A and B are shown apart, each in its own frame.
Chain A
Amino acid sequence: MTPVAARGAIGIRNVSKIYDPDGANVLAVDDCSVEIAPGEFCVIVGPSGCGKTTLLNAIAGFHDITSGEISLDGKPICTPGFSAEPGADRIVVFQNGALFPWSTVLNNVAYGPVVQGTASNTEAKTEAQALLAELGLSGIGDHYPNELSSGMRRRVEIARALINDPKVLLLDEPFRAMDALTKGVAQEFLLQAYDRVRKTVFFITHDLEEAIFLGDRVLVMTTRPGRIKRTLHVDFGRPRNYKIRSSKQYLTLKSQIFEAVREEAVRAFEAGERELA
């Protein structure tokens, strides 16, 4: 059985965040509370503007919160006025990818250990080579990111995060820009990497199908201000593959919160239209 992670518990208690873009203060997240167990694959699904990225950025340490507290393994990492420096214990995989375009795949993956000083340049490179091979990505070490397809780039980025053995993996809609078929195969890659060494995963998405296929627990967020509206426990067991997408259980799960998600989507769609116009 794959080792169960003993670390990476995220405590989100009564978290609220108010943005103040030139005076019109916007309540992005309103009193959210959730306890994420170590090694749990937690998915947040909601329309754009429901505060899911705000939560992720707060955990990652890119900004503070207005009230409440976020802790990692009991230690506070984000409170009003304080946010711990971003670090290799909680690594973000960004929506449109953030592989350094100017360095090769190998140097990208080896970047973390090298700058943290946990390994010399050559040691880090060999370690990176081994991880890439294990994830089925050997042979592209000296390519530049722009020479790879979006599917491959995303896998390298996940490898770049995993090599640092983070407590928490934060994924911000990593498969959004992909066409559905590449997305399906990339999701399977993430699941298999997750099964390899269990980590706490905080995954945010617009796509309900993706949330159920990947997550142990799915939290549905309301349109702005973001509140946790519904929670759905998904127990398909692991490892999973694309077959479950057409299983009966998958469909019942989907229909349970389909309505809840759609309501928020329609409200956001109308709000979006007004807000932008």
Chain B
Amino acid sequence: MASMPARRALLEVKDLAKGFGFGPLRQQVLENCSFGLQSERLTVLIGPSGCGKSTLVNILAGYEAPDAGEVRLLGTPVAGPSAERLVVFQETALFPWMTTFQNVIYGPLVQRDMRRDEIEANAIVLLEHVGLKDFKDKYPSQLSGGMQRRAELARAIINNPKLMILDEPFRGLDAMTRELMQEYFLKLYEGRKQSVFFVTSEIEEAIFLADQLLIMSNRPGQIIKTIDVDLPRPRTASLLTSTEYLRYKDESLEVLHGEAVKAFAEGSKAAADFLEAYADQNR
């Protein structure tokens, strides 16, 4: 792995561990999971379904506390959610009762550190940038899947988070819309100095977007391989048929396929439902 120029480490994760349940039903979801994120780079995490990716996202975002290990953002330990680490969820989490415009201005509005007209001006510029200007007074239910995703990206970007976390944002979109959304997202990312932590289970998507690729093992999840993807930027669709892209795909496919079969075999929902049941307790 070529030695990368020493960039300031944005986020350090050391020996994270997280489990649910009790006694014989103890389900270890994350086990000594460690990695680092460099600032202004697009790091992609890939792993089979049920390997603890979403749990890791919840810990980084501050919604859940790990059982062991720690997460430091620019040296200071992370505690609870904050606008420095914003999450774009899998299914849309736009507020259904607010229009697109009200959704986008929500963050700066509640932080109350900018005048309202300034916030609204920023929002208009951003909506123009993501091509949603003439949908600003529409409700989320009136937007297509692609448009909802773009509105959600705008809602996060307007707060200039130090780290943007995306938890399989394009899952559920059909393959074609997904490819176009990936290009769209890259255009947005490559235009700004933004550190991104992107979680996915699609190999093609991971390599197409990533500067650095982290591969996670099956449950209990930990980082088992790191690949530096130095494909040229800006990345275009034609890249998908180039040989280097193919090489990276082969390299990660080898590791991932074994993990996928294990996850697929263990596919019974019984364990997953137990975790869900545990989650209800502390709501």
Beta-carbon contacts under 8 Å, B256-283 to A: 256-257, 259-261, 263-264, 267-270, 272-273
- A-B Cβ contacts below 8 A, count: 112
CB distance from B240 to the nearest CB of A (A): 7
Q: Which among B202, B241, B267, B273 has the highest number of chain A CB atoms within 10 Å?
A: B267
Interface stretch, picked from B15-23, B59-67, B70-78, B141-149, is B141-149
CB distance from B2 to the nearest CB of A (A): 22
Whether B260 and A184, one on each chain, are in contact in the complex, defined by CB atoms closer than 8 angstroms, is yes
B58 within 8 A of A: no
Given contacts A182-B264, A185-B264, contact A255 B241 (CB under 8 A): yes
Query: What A residues does B241 contact at CB under 8 A?
Result: 251, 254-255, 258
Which secondary structure dominates chain A's binding surface? helix
**CA A209 to CA B256, docked complex, whole Å:** 18
A233 within 8 A of B: no
Whether A179 and B202, one on each chain, are in contact in the complex, defined by CB atoms closer than 8 angstroms, is yes
Query: What A residues does B143 contact at CB under 8 A?
Result: 276-277
12 residue pairs A–B, Cβ–Cβ below 8 Å: A47-B176, A48-B174, A147-B270, A179-B48, A179-B49, A179-B201, A180-B202, A205-B175, A265-B180, A266-B180, A269-B180, A273-B147
Closest 7 CB pairs between A and B? A149-B267, A265-B176, A181-B260, A179-B201, A207-B175, A206-B174, A180-B202
Task: Classify chain A: how many residues form its interface, as a range.
Answer: 35 or more
Query: What B residues does A205 contact at CB under 8 A?
Result: 175
Query: What A residues does B202 contact at CB under 8 A?
Result: 179-180
A262 within 8 A of B: yes
Contacts A147-B273, A269-B177 aside, 4 further interface pairs with beta carbons under 8 A come to: A146-B269, A182-B48, A246-B250, A258-B241
Query: What B residues does A186 contact at CB under 8 A?
Result: 264
B138 within 8 A of A: yes
CB distance from B207 to the nearest CB of A (A): 12
CB distance from B271 to the nearest CB of A (A): 10
Whether B240 and A258, one on each chain, are in contact in the complex, defined by CB atoms closer than 8 angstroms, is yes
B135 within 8 A of A: yes
Query: What B residues does A254 contact at CB under 8 A?
Result: 241
Query: What A residues does B142 contact at CB under 8 A?
Result: 276-277
**A interface residues with partner B (beta carbon < 8 Å):** 47-48, 146-149, 151-152, 176-177, 179-182, 184-186, 205-210, 242, 245-246, 251, 254-255, 258, 261-262, 264-266, 268-269, 272-273, 276-277
Given contacts A182-B260, A265-B180, contact A272 B250 (CB under 8 A): no
Query: What B residues does A176 contact at CB under 8 A?
Result: 174
CB distance from B51 to the nearest CB of A (A): 10
Considering only CB atoms, which chain A residue lies closest to B134 in the complex?
A277
Q: CB within 8 A of A151: which of B134, B174, B264?
A: B264
Query: What B residues does A266 contact at CB under 8 A?
Result: 180
Given contacts A146-B269, A251-B241, contact A265 B179 (CB under 8 A): yes
B246 within 8 A of A: yes
Whether A152 and B268, one on each chain, are in contact in the complex, defined by CB atoms closer than 8 angstroms, is yes
Whether A181 and B176, one on each chain, are in contact in the complex, defined by CB atoms closer than 8 angstroms, is no
Whether A182 and B146, one on each chain, are in contact in the complex, defined by CB atoms closer than 8 angstroms, is no
CB distance from B36 to the nearest CB of A (A): 25
Whether A245 and B253, one on each chain, are in contact in the complex, defined by CB atoms closer than 8 angstroms, is yes
Whether A208 and B264, one on each chain, are in contact in the complex, defined by CB atoms closer than 8 angstroms, is no
B204 within 8 A of A: yes
Query: What A residues does B172 contact at CB under 8 A?
Result: 177
Considering only CB atoms, which chain B residue lies closest to A266 in the complex?
B180
Query: What B residues does A269 contact at CB under 8 A?
Result: 146, 176-177, 180
Given contacts A47-B176, A246-B250, A273-B147, contact A182 B269 (CB under 8 A): no
